[in-house]
């Protein structure tokens, strides 16, 4: 069984997000492997932050196989700057960021406007 990751919020330093999503900090192989696959739904305040050891386009790519809902996906580099964003459609084979990233934030698609490319962010423990 995969242990539940600790919860963090990602604060946008350019604009206030009234109720930021509480997302799982996912830095283990098993947690990243499972991701959000096989879940029935994702609430507005849930998500995952997939964490890599270094900036990379390949390592932060995602697939949407076995994810039955769309996601707002944001890629954040080690300088804590949003470098790309996309609405990832369910059951699509692959999405790659346009620039190297260390973090991949996967949240509810209605939160797509929470972050813009170029925004600086900060992780906070819940």
Model pLDDT for residues 84-93, shown as the tens digit of each residue: 999 999 999 9
Q: Residues 60-84: pLDDT tens digits?
A: 999 999 999 999 999 999 999 999 9
User: Would you say residue 66 lies in a domain?
Assistant: yes
Residue 1: pLDDT band with limits 50, 70, 90: low
pLDDT tens digit string along 15-34?
999 999 999 999 998 888 88
Query: How confident is the model over 1-5, as a mean pLDDT?
Result: 64
Domain region containing 104 = 7-125
- Considering the chain, what percentage of its residues have pLDDT values greater than 70? 97
| Count of domains for the chain | 1
Model-level pTM?
A: 0.94
Residue 81 forms part of a structural domain: yes
Specify if 1 maps to a domain: no
Across the beta sheet with 47-56, what order do the strands follow? 82-88, 71-76, 101-107, 47-56, 23-26, 7-12, 121-125
Buried residues in 60-91 as b, exposed as e (16+ CB within 10 A): bebebeebebbbbbbbbbeeebbbbbbebeee
């Amino acid at each position: 069984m995969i242990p539940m990751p600790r919860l963090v919020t990602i604060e946008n330093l350019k604009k206030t997000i009234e109720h930021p999503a509480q997302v799982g900090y996912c830095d283990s192989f098993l947690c990243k492997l499972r991701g959000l696959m096989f879940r029935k739904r994702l609430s507005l305040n849930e998500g995952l932050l997939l964490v890599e050891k270094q900036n990379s386009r390949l390592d932060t790519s995602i697939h949407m196989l076995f994810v039955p809902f769309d996601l707002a996906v944001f890629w954040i580099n080690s300088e804590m700057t949003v470098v790309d964003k996309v609405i990832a459609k369910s059951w699509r084979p692959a999405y790659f960021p346009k620039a190297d990233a260390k973090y991949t934030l996967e949240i509810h698609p209605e939160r797509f406007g929470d972050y813009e490319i170029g925004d600086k962010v900060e992780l906070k423990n819940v």
